[in-house]
Amino acid sequence: MGYKVVVAGATGNVGREMLNILAEREFPVDEIAALASRKSLGTEISFGDKTVKTKDLETFDFTGWDIALFAVGSDATKIYAPKAAAAGCVVIDNSSLYRYDAAVPLIVPEVNADAIAGYTNKMIIANPNCSTAQMVVALKPLHDRARIKRVVVSTYQSVSGAGKEGIDELWDQTKGLYVPGQEVAPKKFTKQIAFNVIPHIDVFLDDGSTKEEWKMVAETKKILDKNIKVTATCVRVPVFVGHSESINIEFEDFLDEHEARDILRESPGVMVIDKRENGGYITPIECVGDYATYISRIRQDSTIDNGINLWCVSDNLRKGAALNAVQIAELLGSRHLKKG
């Protein structure tokens, strides 16, 4: 006996990826419902070797369904997630709406699996921000060994993090630069993204940081350790899929780079590719479609007593969103719902 699973936002990048990963990982699904807005009603979506037609999120009855994976944004989530939860369907939400709610667990299964027990508070589990998810997977095993004091992270985030509009704008602008008369002005992004980088993701806050940077700080504290100091600079780059991060870590205790490399090699969800030679590292184009969070360029930081630098790359549509949501569903099933 398996689960009755709902994917809300099934026509979007993340929703489609959720369906792909549910099928790839052979999650025990008895019945699947793909939900979308009314304008997408009846759209055919692939689920493994099957094709399902989307149903209307607005009128869907969640009664009798076990798990709902939400990838619809905060506004729609605010309306429909409580309805699903009230009907007894556990919501795994990819939006930012519930991430900072103390009554809602914010889960990365490799990092804080035990916290999932808190789902009973509201029948809702939050999925973290894409840039946070891959970073904490890398930080957790090192924190267990040497206790992290401070993290300085700079991100290089792909346009798919901004949805289909972000992908289309990079594609159209890039083509337009080579075809006179077909130039494309910035619309989704604040400046030209083709052949450029933009140090601005989400809205600006009063202290000069952006909300994306604030998310990384707040979520790392909630998921990993409230005492870790985090400072982030988040940058959009002209890459279609795959977020990269340059991470500087200061520990309470000394951690040798060789030991750090060995620890990460044995850590769940992590793949270390770290050779000090041309091409001996991972770039975002190589991580697309993979489950792993890749770590390269592990080295001592000689400017502080207990410092390590590393490079972290992951498919943001997978570990940063859809894969993590499915892993949460797997964890929920194995520890609590116990079907399949």
Active site amino acids: 130, 243
> What's the CA gap between 118 and 161, in Å, rounded?
28
- Separation in Å, CA 319 to CA 6, 23, 329: 19, 16, 14
Longest Cα separation, the chain: 60
| Contact status, residue 183 vs residue 269, Cβ threshold 8 Å | no
Identity of residue 284: P
Which run of H or E residues covers position 164?
helix 164-176
List all residues 6 or more positions away from 327 whose beta carbon is below 8 Å from its beta carbon: 109
Nearest residue to 253 (alpha-carbon basis) of 304, 299, 311: 304
Residue 302, judged by CB atoms within 10 A of its CB (0-12, 13-18, 19+), counts as exposed
Q: Are 247 and 153 in contact (CB under 8 A)?
A: yes
**Annotation: binding site:** 11-14, 39-40, 99, 157, 160-161, 180, 236, 316
Q: Residue 193: left if φ>0, alpha if ψ -120 to 50, beta else—which one?
A: alpha
Annotated binding-site residues for NADP(+) read 11-14, 39-40, 160-161, 180, 316
Binding-site residue set for substrate: 157, 236
CB 140 within 8 A of CB 220: no
- Give the single-character DSSP code of 200: -
| Distance between CA atoms of residues 152 and 307, nearest Å | 11
- CA–CA separation, 235 vs 246, rounded Å? 11
Write out the binding residues for phosphate.
Answer: 99
Laid out side by side, the sheet with 243-251 consists of 229-236, 148-157, 243-251, 307-314, 293-300, 270-272
Backbone angles phi, psi at 255, to 5 degrees: -135, 120
The three-state secondary structure class of 80 is: helix
